[in-house]
Amino acid sequence: MLEDIIALDKKYYMNTFGERLPVCFDRGEGIKLYADNGDVYYDFLGGIAVNALGHSHPRLVNALKTQVEKLIHTSSLYYIENQARLAQKLVENSCADKAFFCNSGAEANEGAFKLAKIYFYKKGMEKYEIISLDHSFHGRTLATVAATGQPHYQAPYKPLTPGFKQIRPNSLEAVSEAVTDKTAAIMIELIQGESGVHPMDVEYAKGLRKLCDEKGILLIIDEVQTGMGRTGKLFAHQLYGIEPDIFTCAKALGGGVPIGAVCAKAEVAAAFEPGDHGTTFGGNPLATAAGLAVFEAIEEEHLVENARSMGRIFEERLNELSKKHRDKIVDVRCAGLLVGVELKPEIAKGVFDRLFKKKILASLCKGLTIRIAPPLNITADEIDLFISALDEALSEV
């Protein structure tokens, strides 16, 4: 069966993912994924920080079933109740005053760029530059690739969309030098996930907010991976004690159903007037039903609090393991349930491969760091399962 699927993929699907891990899943429950041959895997990556509720969560399943039976799509030519209610949830639980829905994190970030540019355009100001950080990741579209501070993602698509520049992280000096009278916004991930879970310093984040206020620049925070409780706060900017002018989210917002959001303060959001932006599928009844179900589960099951407490347990267990394998573990970086375990370069791929053989799913960032982003309802016993597997894998290399 798996061989047939691989053959079909090789024949018909554009090869953008290379040789994938040799498994195909046909169902899931909680943290477990079941392969088509019946093998059970444990999903500590959560679909890359997407499956916040795990797999087949009853609340999400029931919400989707109910909505599919009623209505999937109408277009935004008409009012959509779920869309309005989900926007209300985002606004009431964040510093934003308005929200706009799209289909992905990349689209959300594109929307944030457009909003920042049009905000100054309508003020009659020629400010269009966007500053972002080295090692960042903001998406796969042409503009988000230009904002992504990783040359290997940018090289094939030059000339890049103009107006973007990257600077080194955690340096207020670097950002001060990069700002010009054309700078519209500074965009950052407070915790860079794709590069291996690298948090920004708190004082740096607060310094950016102060600099933006002084220079009349918008601060955009990319919360695509860190939003919806992942870090032990609903949004990472709450963890840092700052408020952005615009923030984006996606991934966990739909619990597996594609949806993204651009959230903004009232003054900035008002720059989008009828015809300035739009979407066909964004904020449709099905996707926003998923978002509402995720919000309800997060609130009623206290999943932000669970992410915080389980994140502490994860960090404690990993620090203990780091002492045992001090010759192999370089660093442990945790923010709630977004976790990076950096390993010595010569063993990282071997450890990752052994974890997969032990039916543990994670990702390997930059060939160095095991990234973990499990469901927010993970238990201490499930954390111990991961720690035991990682301990064995480290002992085997």
Taking only the tens of pLDDT, the chain with its 397 residues reads 899 999 999 999 999 999 999 999 999 999 999 999 999 999 999 999 999 999 999 999 999 999 999 999 999 999 999 999 999 999 999 999 999 999 999 999 999 999 999 999 999 999 999 999 999 999 999 999 999 999 999 999 999 999 999 999 999 999 999 999 999 999 999 999 999 999 999 999 999 999 999 999 999 999 999 999 999 999 999 999 999 999 999 999 999 999 999 999 999 999 999 999 999 999 999 999 999 999 999 999 999 999 999 999 999 999 999 999 999 999 999 999 999 999 999 999 999 999 999 999 999 999 999 999 999 999 999 999 999 999 999 999 9
- The reply to whether 71-300 shares the fold of 2-56+302-396 is no
For this structure, is 43 an active site residue? no
> Whose structure tokens read 């978002």?
291
Q: Measured between alpha carbons, how far is 75 from 283 in angstroms, rounded to an integer?
A: 9
CA of residue 335 relative to chain centroid, distance: 13
CATH code 3.40.50.620 for 71-300: no
pLDDT at 115: 98
* Options 3.30.230.10, 2.40.30.10, 3.40.50.300, 3.90.1150.10; CATH of 2-56+302-396: 3.90.1150.10
* Axis-axis angle for helices 285-300, 303-324 (nearest 10): 70
Please state, as a whole number, how many other Cβ atoms lie within 10 Å of the Cβ of residue 285: 18
pLDDT at 1: 85
Burial 151-165 (b: 16+ CB within 10 A, else e): eebbeeeeeeeebbe
Q: How many CA atoms lie within 13 A of 193 on its CB side?
A: 27
Give the pLDDT confidence score for residue 237 in this predicted structure: 98
Q: Point out the catalytic residue in the list 100, 101, 120, 137.
A: 137
Catalytic, 222? Answer yes
Q: Which candidate in 43, 101, 222, 295 is catalytic? A: 222
Delimit the domains of the chain by residue range. Answer: 2-56+302-396, 71-300
Q: What is the pLDDT of residue 386?
A: 98
Token digits for 162?
């103009």
- pLDDT value at residue 118: 98
DSSP state of 221: E
**Selection from 91, 168, 79, 78 nearest residue 132 by Cα:** 168
| 251 tagged catalytic | yes
